[in-house]
């Protein structure tokens, strides 16, 4: 049977599974429905239209006093307040966020949900950190109730930080993936995740097999991929913890579902790279391991890529694979200084990730602060426009979701955040002294944290978090 | 006349000036007086007893349920709550901070008060950043009222972040020094500062002369050095902006007042170092410029020292001079990775600074976060005990104030802070999962910010800030 026929059958089976799932789970909560009443939001609006590192002009739009009109969970229109106000459909509610900045929701292209509880674990570099902290923590996620409660807290924390879309690592346990998807489905949040594949070099409780790993992944794909706003990512932890057989099977699974993602780690730490060479002596490079087994491509996201060779960079570009730049993690684990500008200049697709729990913050603002610092140490430029591109439209493009999210073009899904540029005394002082938009956005990028996120809307619906309710 | 006779006369004149000042300014606000009533504070108490990098045992004391007893603005006793409670003087108020962590106030050994308003200015490395942002900002501080209002906001921000002592850059204008000292005197805060000396390579409005700079400095020393908890630092901006004549005169002034500090910059950026070599071709190194002119010694604090040669390091050690490590600034300006462990191992006295406004946070917690990351990138260790040493007792030792502040030994001044280890959802999650004190302190160091500072006491008196009052 040809690959495309296999893919078609896979799709039909997936659709069938989705129908069966809907019939079998009539009481399962449906996504929060956006009001079909038109809603409008007044405030300063900033969004990115093109990659600013490729287009120096018209890369973004900023309207000081704007009206963002939302209907059925989608952007209907963005226009200056004074011209648009009179044209609103009668009965439209206008929420007034004057003095605030409205931006597209943030997109985090690499984060581990079970590591929320072990963020900032002390004192190791990558491989020892995995054994000391990560694996013991992930064992707890075989418990469905525990996993679900943690998934809820994880999504809350994303929202508190203005992140509305994320590509997420779970654990080897399918139940931990179910927990995250269920939690995200209830919130109607655009989450991409998958079961971790790991059949060697890890504690026995966390080990699957080439067959069980793929069977479980396939079942999860059929149940969740394309359901609501959810999507699935085949998720080998990294080359060290998957046998050639498992990677081979993962590559075959990718062919079976052409719209599926791949999410893994690449070239983070020099000891890790040496170990990959030891386990795959027949492959020409770390990236070549994934490439050989058919795991690269436009929907494949590789976290880190700190120490890539020229030939790896060329091949990453050829395959249109994506590298997720995770600065707070690279600094926290001492992995190295990501060559951001060099990769961009070579045409590699680069996105942004927090990599919590090795990353030290859920906030993409705080992540951009350190992205800037990494570029300063590399003596390369990194503008706030470019930073905010990475956190919004750049992330959407990296996930091939820029037809759905990433900016406020009419028809896109209404995931947006309201930012208070005066959330702390220092931010207030800086905002007052900023001479232009770029300085103002730079101050936000360097000084903001979760406190600047005043409100979050997912598919047009305002989301309240427990902690937001607790401290207004 | 001999140097020592000159010094004596200088002292006598200084004392006379202080008396005249008191008589002439009877309405000047006096320092906030600590209550002479005994006060006690219950909570978990952590403080450092010795440099943990030199003493692996008994470097700190932690009492889970402690009573910190304060009288007349000084520490009277620290003891376990249950043994001490019954021994309190009748009538002593006990403030209950159970569940909170009480620590000595933080000490920031390098910060610029006029740069609060230009923190996170966009996109340059050191020399261009000075010309583009710093000098234009500092010109505003020739206005006494403006300088005073900014000084108040600056001290507020220090306090909001738990910093009770700082070594502070001002501007060339004596009035800007007066403003800071007046504001600090009113708060009874331990602040060390001095007029910036700068007689070349800066805008004309910011230029003094060898004579005017020294005359103004001497007058400020006589008025403020030793008044209340204040002290003076001779403050050449850096070698590039002072002529040999000015540095010579500064060295002479230092001899005149043996208890005076010196505060300047050293070896931050490679272009800066090249320029120093150009301006001082006859000197063997950047540090040698200061050394030659008599500006080095145990009360001389040099910010940065990122790119020091072996011979400079040896001489820094010989002179017992101090290097202030400013990680958020070194990353923000792309200056480089400070060789912290190497300098400590060689016996150099190292302290911690935020270097706001090139530093990106007033918080010594956030500064320690990046100090850890710099060490990780250098592949060197940096424990939370060592970090908190730098932020407290280490800073006190660097400023030769460890007989007065830095920990809770009986008789020291009662500058202390109350830390909420659950100030954010993420900190709460981590605190709950910390297995021991070191992990708990590490989580604080990596994840805390100003929100963790629940209360601040200066010389035994609780200090309220405007912003603290506004958002409880």
d(CA B200, CA A141): 64
The torsion angles phi and psi of A180, rounded to 5 degrees, stand at -65, -45
Phi and psi based region of residue A58 (left: phi greater than 0; alpha: psi -120 to 50; beta: remaining) = left
**Is residue A307 in some structural domain?**
yes
CA dihedral (A230, A340, B445, A132) positive or negative: positive
The token pair that represents B274 in the structure block: 């090249």
Q: Which comes out higher in pLDDT, residue B417 or B21?
A: B417
Q: Each residue of A43-73: b (16+ CB within 10 Å) or e?
A: bbbbbbbbbbbeeeeebbeebeebbbbbbeb
Please give chain A's pLDDT, 472 residues, in tens: 444 445 545 554 544 444 444 444 444 444 444 456 899 999 999 999 999 999 888 999 999 999 999 999 999 999 999 999 999 999 999 999 999 999 999 999 999 999 999 999 887 778 888 998 999 999 999 999 999 999 999 999 999 999 999 999 999 999 999 999 999 999 999 999 999 999 999 999 999 999 999 999 999 999 999 999 999 999 999 999 999 999 999 999 999 999 999 999 999 999 999 999 999 999 999 999 999 999 999 999 999 999 999 999 999 999 999 999 999 999 999 999 999 999 999 999 999 999 999 999 999 999 999 999 999 999 999 999 999 999 999 999 999 999 999 999 999 999 999 999 999 999 999 888 888 999 999 999 999 999 999 999 999 999 987 665 444 3
d(CA B145, CA B175): 9
**Is residue B33 in some structural domain?**
no
Q: Which structural domain, as residue segments, surrounds residue B68?
A: 39-104+409-470
Kindly list the distances between the CA atom of residue A211 and the CA atoms of A105, A196, A227, A265, B111, in Å, as whole numbers in the listed order: 38, 13, 25, 22, 60
Q: Are strands B190-194 and B231-236 parallel, antiparallel or unpaired?
A: parallel
pLDDT for B388: 98
Our CA-based measurement puts residue A378 at a distance from the nearest CA of chain B, in whole angstroms, of: 7
Instruction: Give me chain B's average pLDDT, please.
Output: 92
**Is residue B358 in some structural domain?**
yes
Instruction: Examine the domain organization and report whether A77 and A118 are in the same domain.
Output: no
**pLDDT of B334 higher than 80:** yes
> What does the pLDDT average to over B236-249?
98
Best residue in B333, B336, B376 for a mutation probing chain A (most A CBs within 10 Å): B376
Instruction: Examine the domain organization and report whether A100 and A111 are in the same domain.
Output: no
- Alpha carbon dihedral A325, A329, A333, A337, in 10-degree steps, equals 40
Q: Which of B119, B375, B438 sits opposite A426 (nearest CB)?
A: B119
Best residue in A425, A440, A445, A449 for a mutation probing chain B (most B CBs within 10 Å): A425
3-state secondary structure of B360: coil
Strand partners for B263: B301
Instruction: Examine the domain organization and report whether A458 and A445 are in the same domain.
Output: yes
**Is residue B277 in some structural domain?**
yes
Instruction: Examine the domain organization and report whether B186 and B95 are in the same domain.
Output: no
The torsion angles phi and psi of A428, rounded to 5 degrees, stand at -60, -45
Cβ contact B430–A378 (<8 Å):
no
Our CA-based measurement puts residue A125 at a distance from the nearest CA of chain B, in whole angstroms, of: 8
pLDDT for B11: 53
Q: Indicate the pTM of the whole model.
A: 0.92
**Is residue B114 in some structural domain?**
yes
The token pair that represents A215 in the structure block: 């069977």
The pLDDT tens digits for B342-377 are 999 999 999 999 999 999 999 999 999 999 999 999
Q: What is the CATH number of the domain that holds A463?
A: 2.30.40.10
Cβ contact B446–A332 (<8 Å):
yes
The CA R_g of chain A, rounded to the nearest whole Å, is 22
> What does the pLDDT average to over B436-454?
96
**Is residue A373 in some structural domain?**
no
Instruction: Examine the domain organization and report whether B193 and B324 are in the same domain.
Output: yes
Cβ contact B120–A442 (<8 Å):
yes
Please report, for chain B, how many H helices and E strands are present, in that order: 19, 16
Cβ contact A426–B116 (<8 Å):
yes
Helix orientation angle between A384-391 and A364-377, rounded to the nearest 10 degrees: 130
Q: Which of B157, B430, B439 sits opposite A426 (nearest CB)?
A: B157
- Alpha carbon dihedral B216, B221, B223, B227, in 10-degree steps, equals 160
Strand partners for B177: none
How many domains in chain A?
Answer: 2
Instruction: Examine the domain organization and report whether A99 and A216 are in the same domain.
Output: no
Q: Which of B334, B426, B439 sits opposite A376 (nearest CB)?
A: B334
First to last CA, chain A: 59
**Is residue B5 in some structural domain?**
no
Cβ contact B429–A116 (<8 Å):
yes
> What does the pLDDT average to over B313-342?
98
Enumerate the residues of chain A whose CB falls inside 8 A of the CB of residue B375: 334
Instruction: Examine the domain organization and report whether A77 and A190 are in the same domain.
Output: no
**pLDDT of B14 higher than 80:** no
Which residues, including other chains, have CB under 8 Å from residue B18's CB and lie 6 or more apart? Answer: B222, B223, B226, B227
Instruction: Examine the domain organization and report whether A296 and A431 are in the same domain.
Output: no
Q: What is the CATH number of the domain that holds A244?
A: 3.20.20.140
d(CA B199, CA B208): 5
pLDDT for B299: 98
pLDDT for B330: 98
- Count other C-beta atoms under 10 Å from residue B3's C-beta: 11
Phi and psi based region of residue A227 (left: phi greater than 0; alpha: psi -120 to 50; beta: remaining) = beta
Say if residues A412 and A69 touch (Cβ distance below 8 Å). Answer: no
Helix runs in B270-363, H state only: 270-279, 286-292, 310-318, 327-332, 340-345
CA dihedral (A368, A468, B434, B103) positive or negative: positive
The torsion angles phi and psi of A232, rounded to 5 degrees, stand at -110, 145
d(CA B299, CA B297): 6
pLDDT for A148: 98
Instruction: Examine the domain organization and report whether A180 and A320 are in the same domain.
Output: yes
First to last CA, chain B: 59
Instruction: Examine the domain organization and report whether A298 and A429 are in the same domain.
Output: no
> What does the pLDDT average to over B18-44?
60
The pLDDT tens digits for B75-124 are 999 999 999 999 999 999 999 999 999 999 999 999 999 999 999 888 77
Instruction: Examine the domain organization and report whether B354 and B298 are in the same domain.
Output: yes
3-state secondary structure of B283: coil
pLDDT for A316: 98
Best residue in B111, B377, B434, B470 for a mutation probing chain A (most A CBs within 10 Å): B377
pLDDT for B431: 84
Domain boundary among B339, B362, B385: B362
Enumerate the residues of chain B whose CB falls inside 8 A of the CB of residue A384: 122
DSSP secondary structure code for residue B22 in this structure: H
**Is residue A79 in some structural domain?**
yes
pLDDT for A35: 54
d(CA B358, CA B381): 25
Instruction: Examine the domain organization and report whether A262 and A155 are in the same domain.
Output: yes
Domain boundary among A362, A391, A416: A362
């Amino acid at each position: 049977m040809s690959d495309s026929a296999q893919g078609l059958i896979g799709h039909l089976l997936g659709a069938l599974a989705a129908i069966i799932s809907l019939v079998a789970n009539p009481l399962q909560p449906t996504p929060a429905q956006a009001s079909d009443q038109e809603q409008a939001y007044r405030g300063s609006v900033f969004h990115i239209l093109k990659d600013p590192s490729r287009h120096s002009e018209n890369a973004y739009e900023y309207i000081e006093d704007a009206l963002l009109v939302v209907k059925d969970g989608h952007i209907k229109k963005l226009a200056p307040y004074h011209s648009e106000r009179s044209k609103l459909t009668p009965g439209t509610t206008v929420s007034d966020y004057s003095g605030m900045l409205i931006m597209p929701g943030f997109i985090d292209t690499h984060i581990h949900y079970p590591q929320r509880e072990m963020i900032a674990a002390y004192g190791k570099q990558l491989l020892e950190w995995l054994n000391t902290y990560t694996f013991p923590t992930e064992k707890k996620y075989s418990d469905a109730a525990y996993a679900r409660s943690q998934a809820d807290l994880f999504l809350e924390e994303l929202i508190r930080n203005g992140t509305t879309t994320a590509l997420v690592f779970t654990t080897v346990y399918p139940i931990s993936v179910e927990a995250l998807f269920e939690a995200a489905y209830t919130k109607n949040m655009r989450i991409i995740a998958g079961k971790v594949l790991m059949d060697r070099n890890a504690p026995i409780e966390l080990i699957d097999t080439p067959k069980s790993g793929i069977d479980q992944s396939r079942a999860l794909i059929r149940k969740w991929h394309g359901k609501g706003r959810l999507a699935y990512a085949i998720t080998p932890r990294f080359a060290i913890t998957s046998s050639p057989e498992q990677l081979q099977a993962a590559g075959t699974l990718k062919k079976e579902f052409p719209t599926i993602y791949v999410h893994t780690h690449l070239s983070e730490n020099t000891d890790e790279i040496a170990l990959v060479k030891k386990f795959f002596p027949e492959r020409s490079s770390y990236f070549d391991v994934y490439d050989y087994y058919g795991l690269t491509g436009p929907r494949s996201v590789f976290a880190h890529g700190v120490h890539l060779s020229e030939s790896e960079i060329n091949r990453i570009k050829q395959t249109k694979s994506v590298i997720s730049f995770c600065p707070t993690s690279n600094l926290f684990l001492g992995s190295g200084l990501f060559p951001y500008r060099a990769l961009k200049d070579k045409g590699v697709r680069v996105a942004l990730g927090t990599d919590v729990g090795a990353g030290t913050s859920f906030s993409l603002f705080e992540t951009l602060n350190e992205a800037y610092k990494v570029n300063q140490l590399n003596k390369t430029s990194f503008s706030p426009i470019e930073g905010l591109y990475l956190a919004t439209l750049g992330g959407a493009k990296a996930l091939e979701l820029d037809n759905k999210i990433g900016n406020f073009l009419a028809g896109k899904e209404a995931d947006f955040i309201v930012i208070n540029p005066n959330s702390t005394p220092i931010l207030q002082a800086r905002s007052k002294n900023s001479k232009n938009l770029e300085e103002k956005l730079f101050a936000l990028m360097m000084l903001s944290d979760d406190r600047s996120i005043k409100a979050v809307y997912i598919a047009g619906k305002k989301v309240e978090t427990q902690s937001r309710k607790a401290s207004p």
